[in-house]
Every structure is written in structure tokens, then in C-alpha cells.
Amino acid sequence: MKNLIRVLGVLLLLMKGGTTSAQQQIAIETEKISLVFTVGTNGRLYQSYLGKKLSAPSKALLSPGNGEAYVPSGGDNLFEPAVRMIHADGNPSLELVYESHAVKNEGGNTTTSIVLKDMVYPVKVVLHFSAFSKENVLKEWVEISHTEKAPVQLTHFASSMLHFKADDYWLTQFHGDWAEEMHISETKLTSGIKIIDSKLGTRANMYQTPAFALATNRPATEEEGEVLLGTLAWTGNFQFAFEVDEKQQLRIVSGMNPFASEYTLETKKNFTTPAFIFTYSDMGKGQASRNFHAWGRNHGVLNGNKERMTLLNNWEATQFDFDEKKLIALFGEAKELGVDMFLLDDGWFGNKYPRHSDNAGLGDWDANKKILTNGVSALVKGANEKGVKFGIWIEPEMVNPKSELYEKHPDWVLKLPNRKEHYFRNQLVLDLINPQVQDFVYKLVDDLLTTNPGIAYIKWDCNRMMTNTYSPFLKNKQSQVYIDYVKGFYAVMERIRKKYPALPIMLCSGGGGRTDYGALQYFTEFWPSDNTDAVERIFIQWGYSYFFPANTIAAHITSWGKQPLKFRTDVAMMGRLGYDINLAHLSETDIAFSKAAVKKYKELSPVIGQGDLFRLIAPTMDGRAALMYVDSLKQKAVLFAYTLHPRYGENWSAVKLKGLDPLKKYLVNETNIYPGANPSLSENGKTFTGEYLMENGLMVSQSNALSSAVIELTEVK
Ligand code: DGJ
């Protein structure tokens, strides 16, 4: 009996990683975060800690814990695995133990690569962690390889697995649909699995966004509470699994969606997962978002620290109804308004099947000879002569069945054999896995840019998800279609970026279908929603602000919403400002106001685009909203305040500002005032200490519905 107890004790110790001898510890750290792994006496790798940075003596006290860093399927695991492999001989298990690790240091940021190997089979799994020190962001991705005699099958391939032990877990998710993106809901996780995922193929989101916040013990506010913000850098099917076990421990498994995606891995080849990017803050969601913004600008988005162009787009104003003459007139209007660029949207191409509506022409990227009599290059020239840059819309991954491209290459389309074609917006998805299709897409971009020198911007649209999914190119490897499509998309973008490293390109997907850091490494901004109603946009942009800096969020003034022009302008100023409106419908005063607004925006955009964001009053709270941006030296700040719907008799108190220097003095100046109107701020023109503004606050909320104020705060010495 005694022996049996001893054997059981040893077994338990082995399962838990043991604590008997000095163990190898691997700490991945930023200025404020520690993620610590320990090799157990059984050789397995355990997550010992994730949270606020620990001192060396405290780290030395950590035990391995029982959360295996990257739990394989098979073996003794009873919960959601990170990885599952079926070996060449049919054995469906992995047993991973630590082999070695190495750390690379690049400019103060480290990348730690931990090599795990199977105890019997020639399989390696390398966990990579980049730690962005001053941004306090971690990026994890995994490489899987083997040297078995024949290919293996991968059925699960997480980018990351994280473990938590807290009393409660509060999950914030971001969900919606076309034109109602980024609804925010927070729920307490209960025992079992909650899965947030998508199966849309060409894009990550539409219904669920590949990003979440997880607060431990209690819901986090903007300034308080422990919270992890995470997102997957992947432009396709994703899955986050949140599993609370019987001991109230949580594991979060993040990665590409394993749904219908068994992947064949040839011998000596690498399978690399996309990155899971996350940050941790013990000072609430506001700080976590600021970490993400700084990381996004410095590392996540193409040219994230560079200025963006303001623009006039013609989509909302003209739809498909335009010709060369009309466009040339718009160049003049763009110049008059003071924006940097004119953006020509959908409808400029197709000859045999002209693109007069969304049911024809997609795929035929020759300028329509009747609409653009002198071609695209004449438009570029015309715009430049008027003193504005020229940008153009394309949707290169798609085809209308009514097109010459489809007639020539019916086998270039994703569609199931023996089934009817299934259309969405009258179009089909091209098989971007096929290298010939990749060449076609690359060439269309390259030709457009070389034959029309001077194109200064591209809007890259993608208006449908995959259905009836089948790649003629992949033949008997159909389960790889979801993953290989996205890889095909990235391969094309790599080629484009090699030749055109700096060209601004907007990531658009019929509204917020593609808003992920996987694509944003190739793109400079994204289109958050086709819904440009300014009230809706306050909510939608608020949602995106958890993960993306303001200079990546394209925000256009349109006539979708019927709010006063000033209100619509103030909302668009919180992102990358643009116009998509028929200027001829605006009054002279509207135009004068808009010209001044563009000028003011250019002055303020370094603070808005590069500054720290503080969300002050959420639009979901009480009929108003307020947020502010503060520059890194705390010399300049911009506050946006909106009244949506005040209840009868509403008596709002002052809004306490954040992020200022308490010891500095700031001149408070309301700007962007509609001609003839008075400032709404009673304290306008006065100077206050940062301390006063943060402790006492300003009366920024007005009592009339759909009113707004933009307030500049400038340090005075
Ligand atoms: C969807 C985009 O979101 C719109 O802005 C516009 O470009 C249309 N496509 C054009 O077809």
C-alpha cells in the first residue's frame, strides 16, 4: 500500500512538472510584463507566470505550475489541445519536452525561441516569443516540422496557449455584421468552452472580430483592473477557445480555425502559424489599448509612424454614375477643399462587360473607354495638374461571371464541382492558391502602377467571403484551402511590397471584413465599416480603438447620416479624415467650415494619429461620448465630446480629462466651430493646470442632441 502511494505520488509529480530539483526557467519580459516558463522535472515546459513584471528573487520562487505551455493532443491531456498531429504511421499523439532555447536581441526587443521535441517521433515544435519592451506587447507564433519518412497530418495548430488561475474571468468580445461592426459585449466565463471564431475564408471578420479582452477576477475599467488584450494576425478563419476547467483554471487557445483544415506537412518542411499578439495591463483597458496603439504604429502597420493623406472619395456621391468630365470637376473640388488626394472608386473598368453596376466587369482591369476616354493616366495627370494626388479602387481577388476574365479562366475560381455556383454581390472568389492567379493579381497592380505613373494610393476591396469552397488548384488537398488562400494573399502582398514599399494602400472588405494585423503589415489603414452615419461611427470607431491607432481607422464624412455637418466632421476627425460626399450639395458656409476643418485636422493629426488615446465617456453609457488624444510630451491634447441623446432634464457633470501633466498649464481652446456659432465651452480661452483639468474636469457635454465639440489643449509656459 505504502509503495503504491509513493508510486502515485511520483506519477502526480511527473504530471504536474515536479518541483524537486533546480529547474530551467525562461522569462520573456518587457518593461512591465513577465511571462515565465519552467521546465518540469518530467522535461515538459510549463507556464509558471503571466502578469506584472516580477523581480528576479520573486521569479526564483515560482514553481512550474500545471499549465503546459503548448498542450499536445493524445497522451494525458483531457482539455482543448494546442496541437494535434497524426504521424506517418497513424499514431495520433505528441509528447513534447523541452530541448533548448535561444534569445535574440534586436534594439532592446527580444525574440525567445523555445524548441520542444517529441519524445519518440522526429518532430519539433518551436515556440517563438517576441517581446516589445517599451510597448509592453508580446507576439507569439509557432513553427512545426518533422523528419518522418512520409507526410504527417496536422489537425490543430494554435499560435498560442495561455493559462490563468483567477476567481473569475470576464471576456469582452467584438461582434456584429455588415454596417454594424464592433458591438462590444462583456460576459463572465463559466465552466466549459466558449469559442469565438469565423469560417469566412477570405476575411477574418464580419460576425466575430479576431480580437478580445480578458479581465481576471472582476471586469476591468478603462483605468483599473488586470486585463489581457489579444488579437490574431491572420486574414482568414480564426478561433479563440476559452476553456474553464473543473478547478476554475482558464486556458486560452488562439490560432487559425482548425475547422475543415487538416494540413499535410511534408518531411523537412515548416508549418508556421500566424502570430498571436497580446498585451497585459494591471491598469485597465485604456493602458492596454495604448500599448497596442504604440506597437501597431511601431511594428504592426505599414509605415505606422508616417502621416496619412486626407482625401475625397467618389463612392457615396456617385456610385457607378460618373465619367471623365465629372471626375475632373471633382479634382477641382478636392483642391478647393484642401484635401491631399482624390480617390476614384469602383466602376472605372471593363469594356466587353462594362462595370456599370456590381453584376459585371469585375476581373477586367482595363479602363472603360467610354467612361474614361483618355484612360487612367490622363486622370492621374489631371488630378496632379489641379494639385491633388490620385488614388484608385481595385478588388483584385474577385471576378464577376459576366467578365472576360471568367470566360477565359473559368478554372481560376473557387467553386465546388457538381454544385451550382454561389454568388455573393454577384461575384466569385479567385483561386489565389494557384500561382497563375497570384501572378495575375500581382501583374494587374504592377501594370496599373507602371502604366499610370503617379498613382499615389490604392483602395483594395474584398467584397465577399467564401462559400461552396473548393480550389481547383489544390485537387485532393481541399482541407488546405482556407489556410493556403490567405498564404496566397500574403505572397502577392509580399511581391507588391518588394517593388512598392511605401505606397499607401487601404485594406477594405465591404466595410470591416478585414481589420487584422496580419494584413496590416502590408497596408497603411483600413475601412472600418460601410456605415458612415456619424452616430453609428462613434460606436464602431470606439470598438476598433481598443486595438488600432487612430491613423489606421479611415473615417469619411458622407451623407449617410443626417446629423449636422459639424457633428459628422468631428466624428471623422477622430480617425484618418476623408470626404465621400457630393460637395455640390453643401452650402457656401458648409464649404467654408469644411475647408477650415481640413486645415485644422492637418494641424491636429500628429496628436490624433500618434498620440495616446484616453477613452473618457463610452457612448454606451449615458447618451454622450468623450475621448482625447495626448502627445508624447504632454504639450498638446485634443478632446472630442459628443452629445447623442440627452434624456429630458439631463444634468451632466464635468468630464475629468486624463493623460495630462498635472504640473503643466494648458490653454483650453474650442476649435472646429461652425461659422457664426458660439463656442459651446464656457471655459473656452482660459488656462488651467493639468491637475485641475484631470481632477475637476471641464463641462464639455452640451444639452442639445447631436452636438459636438473639439477642444484643443496647448501647454503654456
Ligand atoms: C465596398 C466598399 O466598402 C465601399 O466603400 C465601396 O468601395 C464599394 N465596395 C465599391 O464597390
Query: For residue 482, how far is its CA from the centre of ligand 1 (angstroms)?
Result: 24
Q: If you take atom 10 of ligand 1, which residue's CA is the nearest one?
A: 346
Q: If you take atom 6 of ligand 1, which residue's CA is the nearest one?
A: 315
Determine if ligand 1 sits within 6 Å of the CB of residue 533: no
Q: Which residues pair with 38 in a beta bridge?
A: 25, 46
Determine if ligand 1 sits within 6 Å of the CB of residue 392: no
Q: Which atom of ligand 1 lies nearest, measured to the CA of 527?
A: 3
Q: What is the mean pLDDT of residues 118-122?
A: 98
Q: If you take atom 11 of ligand 1, which residue's CA is the nearest one?
A: 346
Q: Which atom of ligand 1 lies nearest, measured to the CA of 580?
A: 5
pLDDT band at 617 (very low <50, low <70, confident <90, very high): very high
**228 and 326 part of one domain:** no
Determine if ligand 1 sits within 6 Å of the CB of residue 461: yes
The position carrying cell 494557384 is 434
Query: For residue 530, how far is its CA from the centre of ligand 1 (angstroms)?
Result: 7
**607 and 619 part of one domain:** no
**44 and 79 part of one domain:** yes
Q: If you take atom 2 of ligand 1, which residue's CA is the nearest one?
A: 510
Query: For residue 234, how far is its CA from the centre of ligand 1 (angstroms)?
Result: 22
Q: Residue 443: what are its φ and ψ, rounded to 5°?
A: -65, -35
**Residue 1: pLDDT over 70:** no
- Asked whether residue 44 is domain-assigned, the answer is yes
Determine if ligand 1 sits within 6 Å of the CB of residue 508: yes
Number of structural domains in the chain: 3
Q: What is the pLDDT of residues 550-565, one digit of tens each?
A: 999 999 999 999 999 9
**669 and 594 part of one domain:** no
Tell me if 557 sits within 8 A of 579, measured CB to CB: yes
Query: For residue 362, how far is its CA from the centre of ligand 1 (angstroms)?
Result: 13
Determine if ligand 1 sits within 6 Å of the CB of residue 80: no
Q: What is the pLDDT of residues 227-273, one digit of tens each?
A: 999 999 999 999 999 999 999 999 999 999 999 999 999 999 999 99
pLDDT of residue 13: 39
- Asked whether residue 408 is domain-assigned, the answer is no
CATH of the domain at 626: 2.60.40.1180
**75 and 176 part of one domain:** yes
pLDDT of residue 84: 98
Determine if ligand 1 sits within 6 Å of the CB of residue 135: no
Q: Which atom of ligand 1 lies nearest, measured to the CA of 530?
A: 3
Domain endpoint, select from 611, 646, 676: 611
Q: Which atom of ligand 1 lies nearest, measured to the CA of 459?
A: 7
Determine if ligand 1 sits within 6 Å of the CB of residue 463: yes
Determine if ligand 1 sits within 6 Å of the CB of residue 527: yes
Compute the mean pLDDT over every residue in the chain, rounded to the nearest whole number. 96
pLDDT band at 23 (very low <50, low <70, confident <90, very high): confident
Q: What is the pLDDT of residues 563-602, one digit of tens each?
A: 999 999 999 999 999 999 999 999 999 999 999 999 999 9
**145 and 283 part of one domain:** yes
The Cα–Cα gap between 670 and 682 comes to: 10
Q: What is the pLDDT of residues 302-341, one digit of tens each?
A: 999 999 999 999 998 899 999 999 999 999 999 999 999 9
Helix %, strand %, coil % of the chain (to 5): 25, 30, 45
> Using CA atoms in the order 641, 643, 649, 653, what is the torsion angle rounded to 10 degrees?
-10
Domain holding 618, by residue range, is 613-716
**Residue 17: pLDDT over 90:** no
Tell me if 659 sits within 8 A of 287, measured CB to CB: no
Domain endpoint, select from 274, 300, 326: 300
Q: If you take atom 1 of ligand 1, which residue's CA is the nearest one?
A: 510
Determine if ligand 1 sits within 6 Å of the CB of residue 331: no
Q: Which residues pair with 655 in a beta bridge?
A: 698
Q: Which atom of ligand 1 lies nearest, measured to the CA of 358?
A: 11
The reported pTM is 0.96
Determine if ligand 1 sits within 6 Å of the CB of residue 345: yes
Determine if ligand 1 sits within 6 Å of the CB of residue 530: yes
Tell me if 126 sits within 8 A of 114, measured CB to CB: yes
Q: How many CB atoms lie within 10 A of CB 704?
A: 8
Domain endpoint, select from 580, 611, 642: 611
Which strand (E) or helix (H) includes residue 287? helix 284-295
**Residue 710: pLDDT over 90:** yes
- Asked whether residue 238 is domain-assigned, the answer is yes
pLDDT of residue 19: 40
pLDDT above 90 as % of the chain: 95
Choosing from 458, 530, 560 the residue with most ligand 1 atoms within 8 A of its CB, the one to mutate for a pocket test is: 530
Determine if ligand 1 sits within 6 Å of the CB of residue 348: no
**Residue 4: pLDDT over 90:** no
**121 and 40 part of one domain:** yes
**638 and 606 part of one domain:** no
pLDDT band at 511 (very low <50, low <70, confident <90, very high): confident
CATH of the domain at 168: 2.70.98.60
Q: What is the pLDDT of residues 334-362, one digit of tens each?
A: 999 999 999 999 999 999 999 999 999 99
Q: What is the pLDDT of residues 389-444, one digit of tens each?
A: 999 999 999 999 999 999 999 999 999 999 999 999 999 999 999 999 999 999 99
pLDDT of residue 622: 83
**322 and 187 part of one domain:** no
The Cα–Cα gap between 120 and 514 comes to: 41
- Asked whether residue 577 is domain-assigned, the answer is yes
Q: Residue 489: what are its φ and ψ, rounded to 5°?
A: -60, -45
Q: If you take atom 9 of ligand 1, which residue's CA is the nearest one?
A: 510
pLDDT of residue 22: 56
Determine if ligand 1 sits within 6 Å of the CB of residue 176: no
CATH of the domain at 529: 3.20.20.70
**597 and 686 part of one domain:** no
Choosing from 206, 318, 346, 464 the residue with most ligand 1 atoms within 8 A of its CB, the one to mutate for a pocket test is: 346
The Cα–Cα gap between 208 and 168 comes to: 23
Q: What is the pLDDT of residues 47-81, one digit of tens each?
A: 999 999 999 999 999 999 889 999 999 999 999 99
**330 and 277 part of one domain:** no
